[in-house]
Amino acid sequence: MDVHRLVGPVPFDDLPQDPRPEMDRLGIHRACVTHTLSLYSDVRAGNEALLALRDPRLLPVPVLLPAAGEPVPDRDVPMVRLCPARHRFELTGPTAVRLLAELGVTAAVELDETSPKELLALARMLPGQRLLLLNPGYRRLRAVAELMAEIPNLWVEIGTVNTQRGVEWLAGRFGAERLVFGTGAPVLDDCGPRFLLDHLELPQADIDLIAAGGSLLGSTR
Amino acid sequence: MILDAHGHLGTWPDFLIPDPSADGMVTLMDRLGIDAIGISHLLAVGPSAEEGNRLAFAAAERHPGRIGVWQVYNPHQRNRLTDQGVWGVKIHPDVHECALDDRRYDPVWELGLPVLAHGQTGSPWSDPAQFAAVARRHPGVPLLLGHAGLWQNGFHRAAELAGPYPNVFLEICGSKMTGRWIARLAGLIGADRVVYGSDSCFLDLRTGFGRVVLAPLEDADRALILGGNLARILEGRLP
């Protein structure tokens, strides 16, 4: 299960719009997908295109835009994605907090779209909110570790945890169940992370757990 | 033969590297079937070229045939270079704040060894255009354009700029590289001009290696990228 893939066109490159052929080639059976229109054009149009896919291999992760007049996803989805920097809203603003409380689903956000300070604040405001940190990168491992220590409901995507034995370092401190396989493909690389997943120096049960979405997706509605 | 062109040992100040050790590196290489990696010590890339190079040679001595040395040249410290027992010279124009085509790097080119240089599209210090300028001045020096320019929006341009200079090779490590881009670069400049590197321990060896293993490449091209090209560049310098 790749918890972070895109479907649709991007404005800055010629990339496959359909993730399924590459998923097949790399042995990725399912993916949580967000439509690129929601990121690079119109949130509503992207979400509509996403929810029209209706492929059981592709779990829709619509983008939540906490703004007046914007629709809130009403279909059963595993999580929503928020882009506070791209869409210029406050992650801990009253609208975002109220919508997240009402939805009660996992909220996925890229680390570069917010800050550790904002994530800590959100977790204090909504202690039961499940958070998935996308694209954490490798340069802020210390900050990511602090977030994992302080926010029990925070999971981390490992595709960009790309410094030597960084994934094992996080797993040793917080448990493999807090880590999930994800790539950010096709903008980000899926080949290296897919290979890394098979070569982690962790018990096979832990690798299987990370591959399946950690403990995050098992209990998401 | 599988050869990793771009490796490091040691720590780096602005982020945590959980395993910066040579022993940890070689353990991973054993698991993956990587024959040898060329490293520079991050202390040498940073504030002390002389001492960092000494640590790199010590690691190579502990792991004969598995760890090769890219000795770092710092143009401000003007440290000694050797042409014996090394893969070549590593320079990092961005850390040194000295442009790749600055004459203060002339001792590097005059040595005539292969050179691995950090490359970064748009940087005032290491833009791919500066690699073209140096390659024109020193056509006999094999020059590895590190990270193929680092940023995705510069990969295509890096291949175009390097193309006319057969002594320039695109080295492909970096957090923005993708398997798809590796295949594209091979198509643009030729697989015989693309060289695998991982940037391990700075980055995870498995991710960089796996990116090439799983890239959508023909097997013959993959073999060139994973070691055939570097073996040719290092001819006579490998054990």
Considering only the beta carbons, identify the residue of B175, B203, B206 that sits closest to A195.
B206
Chain B touched by A163 (CB under 8 Å): yes
Q: Strands, DSSP E only, in A26-110?
A: 31-35, 58-60, 79-82, 106-110
Closest Cα in chain A, distance from residue B36 (Å): 17
Question: Is the predicted pLDDT of residue A74 greater than 80, yes or no?
Answer: no
pLDDT in tens, A6-42: 999 999 999 999 999 999 999 999 999 999 999 999 9
Residue B81 CB coordination number (10 Å)? 18
Could you give the dihedral angle defined by the CA atoms of residues A201, A203, A208 and A211, in that order, rounded to the nearest 10 degrees? Answer: -30
Q: Total domain count for chain B?
A: 1
Shortest CA distance from A159: residue in chain B: B207
Residue with tokens 């990121």: A39
Considering only the beta carbons, identify the residue of B153, B175, B176 that sits closest to A138.
B175
Angle at B40 between CA B56 and CA B187, to 5 degrees: 145
Distance between first and last Cα of chain B: 12
Chain B environment of A160 (Cβ under 8 Å): 175
Q: Is residue B203 part of a domain?
A: yes
Contacts of A215 (CB under 8 A, 6+ apart): A155, A177, A178, A209
Considering only the beta carbons, identify the residue of B14, B204, B208 that sits closest to A166.
B204
**How many whole angstroms separate alpha carbon B113 and alpha carbon B106?**
12
Shortest CA distance from A141: residue in chain B: B16
CB contact under 8 A, B175 and A162: yes
CB contact under 8 A, A191 and B18: no
Q: What residues make up the domain containing A6? A: 2-219
Picking from A58, A72, A75, the residue whose alpha carbon sits closest to that of residue A22 is A58
Question: Is the predicted pLDDT of residue A220 greater than 70, yes or no?
Answer: no
- B25, B28, B207, best to mutate vs chain A, most A CBs in 10 Å: B207
Better-scored residue on pLDDT, A82 or A73: A82
Question: Is the predicted pLDDT of residue A59 greater than 70, yes or no?
Answer: yes
User: What parts of chain B have a pLDDT lower than 70?
Assistant: none
Contacts of A34 (CB under 8 A, 6+ apart): A5, A6, A7, A46, A50, A60, A61, A62, A63, A81
Q: Kindly state the tokens that stand for B147.
A: 């990270």
pLDDT value at residue A218: 58
Chain B touched by A11 (CB under 8 Å): no
Q: Is residue B69 part of a domain?
A: yes
pLDDT value at residue A76: 84
Chain A environment of B28 (Cβ under 8 Å): 164
Q: Is residue B239 part of a domain?
A: no
Residue with tokens 């981390």: A156
Considering only the beta carbons, identify the residue of B15, B32, B207 that sits closest to A141.
B15
pLDDT value at residue B43: 98
Q: Of all helices (H) and strands (E), which one includes residue B89?
A: strand B88-91
Closest Cα in chain A, distance from residue B228 (Å): 21
Considering only the beta carbons, identify the residue of B19, B20, B207 that sits closest to A193.
B207
In this prediction, what percent of chain A has a pLDDT beyond 70? 98
Q: What residues make up the domain containing B14? A: 3-233
Q: Output the CA–CA distances (angstroms, integers) from residue B120 to A68, B124, B223, in the order listed.
A: 42, 9, 26
Q: Total domain count for chain A?
A: 1
Q: Is residue B142 part of a domain?
A: yes
Helix intervals (H) in B20-71: 22-32, 42-45, 49-62
Q: Is residue B238 part of a domain?
A: no
Peptide bond into B201 cis (omega under 30): yes
For residue A147, how many C-alpha atoms fall within 13 Å in the half-sphere facing its CB? 27
Angle at B179 between CA B143 and CA A20, to 5 degrees: 165
Closest Cα in chain A, distance from residue B186 (Å): 16
Least confident of A2-6, A48-52, A216-220, B135-139: A216-220
Contacts of B82 (CB under 8 A, 6+ apart): B71
pLDDT in tens, A118-149: 999 999 999 999 999 999 999 999 999 999 99
Sheet strand arrangement including A31-35: A2-7, A31-35, A58-60
Q: What is the CATH number of the domain that holds B136?
A: 3.20.20.140
Question: Is the predicted pLDDT of residue A163 greater than 90, yes or no?
Answer: yes
| Contact by Cβ (8 Å): A111, A132 | no
Q: What is the CATH number of the domain that holds A182?
A: 3.20.20.140
Picking from B91, B162, B88, the residue whose alpha carbon sits closest to that of residue B121 is B162
Q: Is residue B185 part of a domain?
A: yes
Chain A environment of B217 (Cβ under 8 Å): none
Helix intervals (H) in chain A: 20-26, 36-40, 43-51, 94-103, 116-125, 141-150, 166-174, 191-198, 204-211
